[in-house]
């Protein structure tokens, strides 16, 4: 039986540990399994969802795709282990058919909980590492994505839109590493989306050696991650 919103709050706090949220997902851990992080559209308790990420809709395929990306990346010392997607129960009598068609609805992606925190937490602590080290970290990021074929090089439509999103995200990741600060600061989700929709991107200082490359990523000027790696390599060496 679904709880009222009033009852759901205490139940969530008692059984789940909220860890963060974005416009597209809510991140938390079940206190009975604290070493596993759950990335979902909302908080799930006893088969019911409470709360909802601001812009999340039709996330099943997104979770499946993220799981496939983790599988493609494989084991790596600096990449969290994926435990795959969690599926909603199949409708009685349709289970075998749904499994055959790969159409089961995914409600979450489950990942290893970083035992020593993550890069963003380290960045938020301040005390930036030297720029040479930051550029090397950005190169490691781009090289790993390229070597594992993520995203695919200049795919045809309609996959191109996914490729563009991945390039934009890579630019934002490199921006965060080289600036050593969260690109959009403490903006509320609504304000962040408004800025993005109007093309207002994070400020890049003149002394950031990767600024032109980051801007090109945001402008979707690259056709492969290999190009990004090559550009970063020139800055590192």
Q: Which of 30-34, 160-164, 180-184 has the weakest average pLDDT?
A: 160-164
User: Of 85, 112, 139, which closes a domain?
Assistant: 112
User: What integer pLDDT is reported at residue 216 of this predicted model?
Assistant: 94
Dist CA 219 CA 171 (whole Å): 9
User: What integer pLDDT is reported at residue 164 of this predicted model?
Assistant: 82
Give the confidence band of 95 by pLDDT, cuts at 50, 70, 90. Answer: low
Specify whether 123 is located in the same domain as 217: yes
Q: Considering the chain, what percentage of its residues have pLDDT values greater than 90?
A: 46
Specify whether 123 is located in the same domain as 222: yes
User: What integer pLDDT is reported at residue 156 of this predicted model?
Assistant: 46
Q: How many domains are there within the chain?
A: 2
User: Of 57, 81, 112, which closes a domain?
Assistant: 112
User: Of 112, 137, 165, which closes a domain?
Assistant: 112
pLDDT of residue 8 exceeding 50:
yes
List C-alpha distances in Å: 220 to 13, 109, 164, 224, 226.
42, 28, 6, 10, 14
Residues near 81 by beta carbon (within 8 Å), at least 6 away in sequence: 70, 75, 111, 112
Which of the two residues, 125 and 117, has the higher pLDDT score?
A: 125
Dist CA 176 CA 203 (whole Å): 11
Specify whether 214 is located in the same domain as 190: yes
List C-alpha distances in Å: 129 to 123, 136, 161, 178, 212.
9, 11, 34, 10, 21
pTM of the model: 0.68
pLDDT in tens, 200-236: 888 899 999 999 999 999 888 998 899 999 999 999 9
Structural domain of 214: 119-236
Specify whether 130 is located in the same domain as 28: no
Specify whether 59 is located in the same domain as 167: no
Specify whether 107 is located in the same domain as 153: no
User: What integer pLDDT is reported at residue 157 of this predicted model?
Assistant: 44
Specify whether 34 is located in the same domain as 53: yes
CATH number at residue 66: 3.30.200
The arithmetic mean of pLDDT across residues 135-149, rounded, is: 86
pLDDT of residue 158 exceeding 50:
no
Specify whether 100 is located in the same domain as 125: no
Instruction: Provide the mean pLDDT of the chain.
Output: 84
User: What integer pLDDT is reported at residue 109 of this predicted model?
Assistant: 97
């Amino acid at each position: 039986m679904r709880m009222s919103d009033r009852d759901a709050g205490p139940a969530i706090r008692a059984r789940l540990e909220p860890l963060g949220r974005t416009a597209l997902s809510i991140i938390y851990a079940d206190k009975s399994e604290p070493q596993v992080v759950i990335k979902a559209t909302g908080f799930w308790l006893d088969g019911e969802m409470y709360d909802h990420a601001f812009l999340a809709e039709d996330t099943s395929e997104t979770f499946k795709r993220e799981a496939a990306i983790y599988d493609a990346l494989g084991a790596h010392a600096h990449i969290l282990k994926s435990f795959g997607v969690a599926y909603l129960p199949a409708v009685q009598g349709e289970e075998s058919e749904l499994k055959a068609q790969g159409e089961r609805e995914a409600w979450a992606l489950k990942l290893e909980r970083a035992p020593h925190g993550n890069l963003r937490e380290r960045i938020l602590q301040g005390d930036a590492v030297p720029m040479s080290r930051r550029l090397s970290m950005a190169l490691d990021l781009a090289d790993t994505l390229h070597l594992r074929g993520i995203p695919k090089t200049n795919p045809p439509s309609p996959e191109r839109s996914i490729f563009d999103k991945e390039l934009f995200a890579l630019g934002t990741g490199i921006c965060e590493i080289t600036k050593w600060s969260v690109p959009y600061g403490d903006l509320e989700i609504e304000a962040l989306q408004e800025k993005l929709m109007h093309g207002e991107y994070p400020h890049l200082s003149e002394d950031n050696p990767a600024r032109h490359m980051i801007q090109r990523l945001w402008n979707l000027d690259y056709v492969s991650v290999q190009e990004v790696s090559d550009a970063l390599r020139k800055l590192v060496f």
